[in-house]
């Protein structure tokens, strides 16, 4: 029995599982990575209680557009395969591609990294990917949070969330309101599965491993690399296309790029309708874009039909662009010149009693 006069053994925060020194070391590792992403508008970034950003004065009527997302169960493969350097790119892409859909330029990004025990090297690799994603999309990494929470996560695991803020001129917000029958649907190629559908992907891996049929390569890449290929960042190329082919709000003669749809969870079937006016449908032509070895393997291994594929995965199309027919050829040329792989995948038609998206 402890005597009332006995002093308890001192416990530090580190004894409780939180290493403040490791957190400080990570911040020092992050600072030069974040510095590479600095851009106009940043007043104060990493290190303060709040990051400060001034909307660039070139905007006349700026409207802020925000987005947040995570990486999902793709992280489970990152843990298992020890591939941490690209999931940060996924994190950025999932938010900035969403912001882009409104026609907005991503301005800044913040991340949230949570773990049970902080491994500085792993965290630095993840944040290095985040910084790279910000650099490629032209937005500043100006803040974030690293949370070390003993007992909340299994050893070696972590979770990620990201938050992007962009700006668009009020007169240039993409709403899809002027989409009309006869408009053309373009598809920009994805880099792979991106960051959705990985609960099914992991089941496919388990099934193939059990059967001894796991492929060594897919689409010329090692199997693990093909699945972990980060989400494509469409920001710079699509913003250039929007500048070259701006949409018109003239109801009598709408032109240029009218809408964008980021193909994430729900695939082509669930995401395209989000930008279509009532009574309008997108008729996509099956085979108008190629099926990669990766998606063919997933479909064959899962044993699912085309409908399930198109509502689970991006199926090779990561961003959809709706443009009036008269601007389509020029828009395709602009995007291809910028480095995008572009396919004309369908047309806009009256919906009638059918589905909002038909793939035939």
Q: Which two tokens stand for residue 168?
A: 């668009």
pTM reported for the whole predicted model: 0.91
Residue 234 CB coordination number (10 Å): 25
- pLDDT tops 70 at residue 19: no
- Interval 91-117 mean pLDDT: 96
- pLDDT tops 80 at residue 154: yes
Residue of 262, 256, 261 whose CA lies nearest to 276: 261
Domain residue spans of the chain: 20-172, 184-359
Q: What is the pLDDT at residue 298?
A: 97
Q: What top-level class would CATH report for the domain 20-172?
A: alpha beta
For residue 90, CA distances in Å to 21, 22, 145, 194, 214 come to 28, 25, 18, 7, 24
Domains 20-172 and 184-359 alike in fold: no
- pLDDT tops 90 at residue 282: yes
**The domain 184-359 belongs to what CATH superfamily?**
PurM-like C-terminal domain (3.90.650.10)
Q: What is the pLDDT at residue 336?
A: 97
């Amino acid at each position: 029995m402890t005597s009332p006069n006995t002093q308890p053994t001192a416990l530090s925060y580190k004894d409780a599982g939180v290493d403040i020194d490791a957190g400080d070391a990570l911040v020092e590792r992050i600072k030069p990575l974040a510095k590479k992403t600095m851009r106009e508008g940043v007043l104060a970034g990493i290190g303060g209680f709040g990051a400060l950003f001034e909307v660039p004065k070139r905007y006349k009527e700026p409207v802020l557009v925000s987005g947040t997302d995570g990486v999902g169960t793709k992280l489970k493969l990152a843990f298992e395969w020890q591939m941490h350097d690209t999931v940060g790119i996924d994190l950025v892409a999932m938010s900035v591609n969403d912001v882009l859909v409104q026609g907005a330029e991503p301005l800044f990004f913040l991340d949230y990294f949570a773990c049970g025990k902080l491994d500085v090297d792993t965290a630095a690799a993840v944040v290095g990917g985040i910084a790279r994603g910000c650099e490629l999309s032209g937005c500043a990494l100006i803040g974030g949070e690293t949370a070390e929470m003993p007992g909340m996560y299994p050893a070696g695991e972590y979770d990620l969330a990201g938050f992007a803020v962009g700006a668009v001129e009020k007169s240039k917000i993409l709403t899809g309101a002027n989409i009309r029958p006869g408009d053309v649907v373009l598809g920009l190629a994805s880099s792979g599965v991106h960051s959705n559908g990985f609960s099914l992907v992991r089941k496919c891996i388990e099934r193939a491993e059990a059967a001894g049929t796991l492929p060594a390569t897919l689409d010329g890449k090692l199997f693990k690399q093909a699945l972990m290929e980060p989400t494509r960042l469409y920001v710079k190329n699509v913003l250039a296309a929007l500048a070259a082919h701006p949409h018109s709000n003239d109801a009598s003669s709408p032109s240029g790029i009218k809408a964008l749809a980021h193909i994430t969870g729900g695939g082509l079937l669930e995401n395209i309708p989000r930008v279509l006016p009532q009574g309008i449908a997108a008729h996509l032509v099956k085979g108008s874009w190629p099926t990669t070895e990766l998606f063919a393997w997933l479909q064959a291994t899962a044993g699912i039909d085309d409908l399930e594929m198109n509502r689970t995965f991006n199926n090779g199309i990561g961003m959809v662009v709706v443009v009036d027919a008269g601007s389509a050829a020029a828009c395709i040329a602009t995007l291809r010149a910028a480095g995008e792989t572009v396919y004309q995948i369908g047309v806009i038609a009256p919906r009638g009693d059918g589905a909002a998206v038909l793939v035939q």
